[in-house]
Amino acid sequence: MSEDKSIKVLIVDDSPTVRAVLSRALSNEPDISVVGEAKDPFHARELIIEHRPNVIILDIEMPRMDGLTFLKKLQAHYPVPVIMCSGVAATDNHTALKAIELGAIDFVAKPQSGSSIALRRLSEDLADKIRAAAVASPVRPTIPAKTTIKQRSFRSSGLDPRRFLVAIGASTGGTEAIKELLMRVPPDFPPVAIVQHMPAGFTKSFADRLNQYSQMTVTEAVDGDMLEPGRAFVARGELQMRVYRSGNQLHISYGTDELVNRHCPSVDVLFDSVADQVGSRAVGVLLTGMGADGAKGLLNMKERNAVTIAQSQDSCVVYGMPKVAADLGAAQHVVAPGDVPDTVVAALQKRVKRAAVHR
């Protein structure tokens, strides 16, 4: 790809070391060109005028102006896709998630090691996020913080939440899509297992944040956790998460750190285990994200007679994973995240009624 068609990236970070590592990580990507490195937002402003970058990688903590303040200014004056570069400390985690709410497309963990393996993983992850950001749609408005949306209870709909399991997978744009979905579920919704592509160290903060918005109890999943109604479990970063059955109970299980579809955790790994262990009593939901992770798993779930749902194109930040699922014929329903809970209830009611007729 010629340079004039490459994705132009500006790196904004006060650390010369971090700027050098990020630039080096992208140096072998033929479709990505680092057009500038800025030590602070004031320097970045000059480089933006000069180079008109397609994507900006933005540090959170910087002198003279912090990343969130600069992000807000960018959204108002130069709404270019932004990827936040965050440390792994809890305070940085929360700030990175806040940045997503403010309009950042994604975030990447700051490099912790200069080893060749770490650099290769960083290169692949960062390049994928940049490509996703370059094609991302503008972030949709979300529900104001701390707004609670009351839902009719799951049981009052004539359904027993103990009989079902909902599995959700997402990538770029998924943090807000999952939040919007969980804000609209009743407290007695079936157990929910979630894979969101996210670095290790961030998933607990993500779960804690979701817990503030949902009537369900949302936690980072622990190996052996029992999947119970009213609870949602977020897969821990850099471990593959599955569900397994022990007697009449479903539990969480962690496996290796092996990449599947270049992701760990992988949506396909979760969906395949749900198809095998839960079958027709499962619901699969595939949300926004780049690539194809989860599409084949959703098809597997459909073939086991599960209810399958993909996010609609007009509500996606990146219409990648749901599009592949739709193209495979894996999605029985195509809706926006906020419509997923009602879609789940309606689909399960229809199945229960149909089963009653055939008794």
Mean pLDDT of each 10-residue bin along the chain, 359 residues long: 76 93 92 96 96 96 91 92 86 89 91 72 90 84 46 89 98 96 96 95 94 97 98 97 96 96 96 98 97 98 98 96 98 96 95 77
How does DSSP assign 142-202, residue by residue?
Answer: -PPTT-------TGGGT--GGG-EEEEEE-TTHHHHHHHHHTTS-TTPPPEEEEE---TTT
Give me the amino acid identity at 358: H
Q: Which of 123, 197, 263, 312 is catalytic?
A: 197
Domain boundaries, the chain: 3-135, 155-357
User: Which residues make beta-bridge pairs with 250?
Assistant: 245
User: Does the annotation count 113 as an active-site position?
Assistant: no
DSSP 8-state secondary structure symbol assigned to residue 5: G
Q: How many Cβ atoms sit within 10 Å of the Cβ of residue 88?
A: 16
User: Does the annotation count 263 as an active-site position?
Assistant: no
DSSP 8-state secondary structure symbol assigned to residue 20: H
CB 97 within 8 Å of CB 175: yes
Q: How far is residue 82's CA from residue 69's CA, in Å, rounded to a whole number?
A: 13
How does DSSP assign 311-349, residue by residue?
Answer: E-GGG-SSBSHHHHHHHHT--SEEE-GGGHHHHHHHHHH
Q: Which two tokens stand for residue 302?
A: 């459909």
User: Does the annotation count 197 as an active-site position?
Assistant: yes
- Residue 242, helix vs strand vs coil: strand
- Residue 50, helix vs strand vs coil: helix
Q: Is the peptide bond before 265 cis (omega within 30 degrees of 0)?
A: yes
- Residue 58, helix vs strand vs coil: strand
3-135 has CATH 3.40.50.2300 classification? yes
Q: How far is residue 233's CA from residue 262's CA, in Å, rounded to a whole number?
A: 22
Characterize the bridge pairing of strands 241-246 and 249-254.
Answer: antiparallel
Give yes or no on whether 3-135 and 155-357 have one common fold.
yes
Q: Which of 33, 86, 123, 171 is catalytic?
A: 171
Q: Which of 293, 312, 315, 339 is catalytic?
A: 293
* Angle in degrees, CA 127, 133, 138, rounded to 5: 175
Q: Which residues contact 20 (CB under 8 A, 6 or more apart)?
A: none
Q: How far is CA 21 from the centre of its chain?
A: 25
pLDDT at site 114 = 64
Note the maximum CA span of the chain: 72
CB 249 within 8 Å of CB 236: no
CATH homologous superfamily of 155-357:
Methylesterase CheB, C-terminal domain (3.40.50.180)
Q: How far is residue 191's CA from residue 271's CA, in Å, rounded to a whole number?
A: 14
pLDDT at site 213 = 95
Q: Which two tokens stand for residue 324?
A: 């592949």
341, with CB counted inside 10 A (0-12, 13-18, 19+), is buried
- Residue 217, helix vs strand vs coil: strand
Selection from 292, 280, 289 nearest residue 332 by Cα: 280
pLDDT at site 3 = 47
Q: How far is residue 195's CA from residue 255's CA, in Å, rounded to a whole number?
A: 14
